A and B are shown apart, each in its own frame.
Chain A
């Protein structure tokens, strides 16, 4: 029997706001323990949350970038549970009316465009960090991370294979960076993910029982967890066993999933509207303002680069992965249509110079005035001294034309135009050659290599006989 897999992902993303979600404490990683704390984020009695508007805007921005509907009248809910890293004993989250709903992200699965539907994006606040292993018999708590704003991006179970899962996770990470809502540093826990996997008979319409794996702290681990879990479930089914809905934990050291709890014992979070925070009214004006801040997104760039500019997929992705380079490329192709050379030079020799000057250098290459291999040097010179392309050529002594073919052409034109002087030379007037050399220099704006010009002009005149 063959099986289909369906994968749903929940990506938790820390927003890069200046302050925390509900207080003015700094949102930063790596400070000394409990440095960024106050009565609000440590849950002292009577302290009240004040909602960070920047976080709301960033959530809306993410929603718009993922083609979601924005909920004009949203609110926050309390999710009640006990854990020592959660000082209020509830997390301010969203359950009933998430801020964004019904969106999608497009990915490419073996050259086919696939839409992965986004069910919702909702707010969460991060919890503190428990430190178990520093002292014997002691668990320490660092509340610096407590109250850091998070959004959770929840997909529909649309992902059908490992490649799509990879593409989705890569795509979402790149998109979040593009719109500037998160630093996406996985090693600092800024992106985490929960994975749902279900398996069903090939062609079946009904999803198998869902299996959830929580808090996987790297995307590569998520992929391994999906692979493992899909295989495990298929093996169970082949053995004739049933799959029961469970929450499992991914053990990234031994690379296997272990049972956390059965569905029957799942926690009841007793959600209700957070009474300390009024309804969040989001008017259409704000939404359209935020919309204007969204740049052209990676997937659209990919299609343009590969289709319109005929770049290879690898080159397109290399550019896109670095937004600065991709933006630069977009500016260059408006002034110069040597797309492949531009992309090549950006990928290999990128420097912080203006697109106009960049394209001038590309033109020099095309004109044969400089060799391909000196481009990097020229860019560096331009960036270092903040000078124009031709000044850089001067500085580097690359401004001479050494190309013998080119020099020959100039000489030939000059000789044709000055038959009298050629005649004079042949009649023994040796200094007539000086006049001809001068004419060549005028024609080339003084850029011909004088030695080459000198030796070539005699040869050409003599050969011309």
Chain B
């Protein structure tokens, strides 16, 4: 038998079910891997291994007693550090919250606990989820397990790196403008950004409330689908959460025959996307055609506008969401003499401050119409446009990222860094579900991600499509 940490999540679950291994053995295998890898990778900010071991032992006893357990009961999971965990440090990757311990669990965490998954710890991330590389964390840069000189992608950097390195079989990430999909793509794993409103945001520490979503990450589509079943639940404490009945039960036997797939001309026929990435994505499109899918090029010039819509609205909302961090009631407060200005200057990183300043300016009464109001109007137009596209098409396919993972600190001072999000933000601003799965490696052996999006609340169908495609692509994403 191969080592447990090398197994996919669903394989571990069946081994447990067949009682061939115990939860404790599984957990121990991942802990060993964490001890080996963590010093190079910084996937985690906080580990909670003692509690995890206790929980695993409890579950093994339950299993021996023959208690009815959910499919993923006793399987470890890592949680991004902007998702509140009761009694467990939750920092958002920021010095500002370096000592913040929530008094309540996020709804998604409650779901994990109800399914009796075992939380390993809290994963590293760009500060307050602002960033696409994983470099903006107060707790250090997350390295790409495939090449530790390279970034893991962000902002859910740790949640992606932990999966690829065998430090966790499952993880929760969050996606505001691509923060699940980009690191999934950079690390060669699978990450799903759910429909906005399909998964409760309750307890997710907000960056941009109108876009933030919690989503599942894993080695394969099947794992992501299994974790989806646990977190896609209605929560009346989140007014933007809709009560929708998703059917994740039947992932297999989905035929792409006759399914219509749109590719966006403005992305594919431009120099935005690197040739390496384009080649791999085009290869995947060929595979889809061979499977009977009908690929059609469409024009969506607004895809470029989506970028500024995203940066305007997300920065504005962030400036409001982050203004409560003043060190008065919780968070960083070094000494009695520290006033709010000192604390905020000291405890926020550069990127966070940049966006707070930008967002504050955007919302000022003299600029509101010019920026925020216009961005909202543009967003509504884009939503309408996509609705029309989905009247005709089942899926939209793009690369996940214009380029593969780059060297750490390579682009830090490059203002085009926001362009990394060009393929992901259109799904964020329109609220549609979008998944990234690996479709090959580039010339430097770094994974390329393909991104598939579908209409709102069709997440379960999107997973079926991705699952079918994943099998045909046959990408080998063994633990590195």
A: residues with CB less than 8 A from B are: 39, 42-51, 78, 80, 82, 84, 87-90, 268-273, 275-278
Q: Which segment of B67-75, B155-163, B237-245, B383-391 sits at the interface?
A: B237-245
CA distance A88 to B325 in the complex (A): 9
**Could you write out 26 A-B pairs with CB less than 8 Å apart?**
A42-B329, A44-B104, A44-B330, A45-B92, A45-B100, A46-B202, A46-B203, A46-B205, A47-B203, A48-B201, A48-B202, A48-B239, A49-B239, A50-B239, A82-B340, A84-B328, A88-B324, A89-B324, A90-B323, A90-B324, A268-B365, A270-B365, A271-B368, A275-B208, A275-B240, A276-B240
- Rounded to whole Å, the gap between the CB of B321 and the closest CB of chain A is 9
Is B25's CB within 8 Å of the partner chain A? no
B96 to A: closest C-beta gap in Å:
10
Whether A43 lies near B363 (C-beta < 8 A) is: no
Within 8 A of A (CB), among B225-280: 236-240
Pairwise interchain contact A46-B204, C-beta atoms closer than 8 A = yes
Which of A50, A270, A278 sits near B364, CB closer than 8 Å?
A270
Q: Are A87 and B106 closer than 8 Å at their CB atoms?
A: no
Q: Is the CB of B363 within 8 A of A80?
A: yes
**Are B103 and A272 in touch, CB under 8 angstroms?**
no
Among B204, B237, B340, B363, contact of A272 (Cβ-Cβ < 8 Å): B363
Give B182-209 as 1s and 0s: 1 = Cβ < 8 Å from A's Cβ atoms: 0000000000000000000111111011
Chain B contact-residue range equals: 35 or more
Q: Which of chain A's residues has its CB closest to B323's CB?
A: A89
- Which of B97, B320, B326, B360 gathers most chain A CB within 10 Å? B320
User: In the bound complex, do residue B103 and residue A39 qualify as a contact, i.e. CB atoms below 8 Å apart?
Assistant: yes
User: Which residues on the A side are within 8 Å of B326 (C-beta)?
Assistant: 82, 89
B140 within 8 A of A: no
Measured between C-beta atoms, what is the minimum distance from B356 to chain A in Å? 11
> Assuming A48-B237, A276-B239, A276-B240, is B324 touching A43 (CB within 8 A)?
yes
Cα separation A82 to B329 with both chains bound (whole Å) = 14
Top-5 shortest CB links A-B: A270-B363, A89-B323, A275-B209, A275-B210, A89-B324
Chain A contacts of B236 at CB under 8 A? 50
Q: A44-B103, A45-B205, A84-B328 are contacts. A50–B237 as well, Cβ < 8 Å?
A: yes
Tell whether B400 is near chain A: CB-to-CB under 8 Å.
Answer: no
B364: chain A residues within 8 A (beta carbon): 268, 270
Q: Is the CB of A45 within 8 A of B316?
A: no
The CA-CA distance from A271 to B103 in the complex, in Å, is 30
Q: How far is the CA of A278 from the CA of B209 in the complex (A)?
A: 12
Complex CA distance for A136 and B143, rounded to whole angstroms:
51
Of all chain A residues, the one with the shortest Cβ separation from B359 is A270
Q: A270-B363, A270-B365 are in contact. Are A87 and B320 (CB under 8 A)?
A: no
Among B201, B206, B316, the one with the most A-chain Cβ atoms within 10 Å of its Cβ is B206
Hey, which chain A residues are within 8 Å of B205, CB to CB? 45-46
Question: B320, A78: Cβ atoms under 8 Å?
Answer: yes
Output the residue of A42, A47, A272 with the most chain B CB within 10 A: A272
How far is B312's CA from A118's CA once the two chains are assembled, in angstroms? Answer: 35
Q: Distance (Å) between the CB of B287 and the closest chain A CB?
A: 39
A272 B102 Cβ-Cβ under 8 A: no
State A73–B463 Cα separation when bound (angstroms): 35
Tell me the bound Cα distance from A87 to B329 in angstroms.
9
Q: Judging by beta carbons under 8 Å apart, are B239 and A46 in contact? A: no
Chain A neighbourhood of B179, CB < 8 A: none
Do A270 and B320 have beta carbons less than 8 Å apart? Answer: yes
Contact B202 A270 (CB under 8 A): no
Across-interface contacts of A39 in B (CB, < 8 A):
103-104
The verdict on B372 contacting chain A, using a C-beta distance below 8 Å, is yes
Q: Which residues of A contact B102 (CB under 8 A)?
A: 44-46
